[in-house]
Amino acid sequence: MKRFQEKSIEKILLLSAVTAIFIVLLIFVFIFVEGFPVIKKYGLTHFITGKFWHPNDSAFGLLPMIIGSIYVTIGSLILGVPLGIGCAIFLAEMAPKKLVLVIRPAIELLAGIPSVVYGFYGLVVLVPLIREIFGGRGFSVLAGSIVLAIMILPTIINISEDSIRAVPREFKEGSFALGATHWQTIKYVMLPTARSGIITAVVLGMGRAIGETMAIILVTGNVAVAPTSILEPVRTLTANIAIEMGYAAGDHSSALFATGIVLFVFIMILNSLAVFVPKKVGD
């Protein structure tokens, strides 16, 4: 009887995994079928490297949006990664248990807040603040980077903290026995040992940032021009789809689906990095 139950659970889990993979493949096939005609018509090189996005003139150049997505994502990582890893170190190694019981639920709460709420916060607080301090319109790469940095913190903190806590206690005790201070132990023993998990946290945070839509729409200005400064407005790939899909038709609609193909490939590459890079680093 127990053997039968184990086999049944195994089959159910296998079916769940196959179903999930099948759904992802269906989504990719649907996007590819809808978006490939415009790529075939105008050429993949022209579509990806084109500098102008003017659907009314049949100009479908994604380069400004690709650059915008990369700028905003890199900006969010520059701001969010040090803060997230620092918070993870504090929670795992330095914070009193009572304080951890307060901070950890607050971090988990950040993960549950809808992205549009972050966007409204950026629109009401960050954009006017940037406008007042630096000038310009305030809608910018910087505003998008700050909002995304806040949004990716729960991912980076939780996974990094778990990785640091997973380091064997013997490593820490051995470092102390050799005369190292607490900080030296963290820097030279704990972090190098946990680096694969920390890198996974960063890569997953990157995927979260590059796939964000609503918050970005509200704070970046949504101008389809490649930015030359972090204070200039920008449009990302996700924002491009969300803004224009409601009224797109013909080649315009197909071009937006093709934008989804590019975004899908980006996300797949990042997820692959999350799987393979930590293994390479751990070797």
**Helix 237-244 with 63-89: angle, nearest 10 deg:** 120
Instruction: Give pLDDT tens digits for 185-233.
Output: 988 888 888 888 898 888 888 888 888 888 899 998 888 888 888 888 9
pLDDT tens sequence across 113-150: 888 899 998 999 999 999 998 888 888 899 999 999 99
Q: Which of 8-12, 55-59, 130-134, 157-161 has the lowest mean pLDDT?
A: 55-59
Statement: residue 283 has pLDDT above 80: no
Query: Both 208 and 249 in a single domain?
Result: yes
260: in domain: yes
Question: Token pair for residue 205?
Answer: 């945070």
**Average pLDDT for 271-280:** 66
Where in the sequence is the domain holding 33, given as residue range(s)? Answer: 2-47
Tell me what the mean pLDDT of segment 235-263 comes to: 86
- Is 54 part of a structural domain of the chain? no
Predicted confidence at residue 277, as pLDDT, reads 63
Phi, psi for 226 (deg, rounded to 5): -65, 125
Tell me: the pLDDT tens digits for 44-74?
Answer: 888 888 888 888 877 888 888 999 899 999 9
Identify whether 16 is part of a domain.
Answer: yes
Identify whether 209 is part of a domain. Answer: yes
In terms of domains, do 102 and 174 share one? yes
Together in a domain, 28 and 122: no
**Quick check: is 52 in a domain?**
no
Residue 270 has a pLDDT of 76
Place of tokens 């650059």: 67
- The CB density around residue 173, as the number of other CB atoms within 10 Å, is 11
**Structure confidence at residue 153 (pLDDT):** 92
pLDDT band at 76, cuts 50/70/90? very high
Query: Does some domain include residue 276?
Result: yes
Q: What's the confidence (pLDDT) of residue 278? A: 58
Letter for the amino acid at 245? M
Whether residues 129 and 14 fall in one domain: no
- What's the rounded mean pLDDT across residues 239-266? 86
Percent of the chain having pLDDT more than 70? 95
Whether residues 22 and 142 fall in one domain: no
Q: Looking at the structure, tell me whether residues 31 and 72 fall in a common domain.
A: no
Q: Give every CB contact of residue 237 below 8 A, 6+ residues apart in sequence.
A: 62, 65, 66, 68, 69, 210, 259, 262, 263, 266
Residues 27 and 106 in one domain: no
* pTM of the shown model: 0.85
Domain count, the chain: 2
CB-based contacts of 193, cutoff 8 Å, min separation 6 = 167, 168, 171
**d(Cα 58, Cα 55) in Å, to the nearest integer?**
5
> What pLDDT sits at residue 147?
93
pLDDT band at 280 (very low <50, low <70, confident <90, very high): low
**Nearest alpha-carbon partner for 39 in 219, 258, 283, 282:** 258
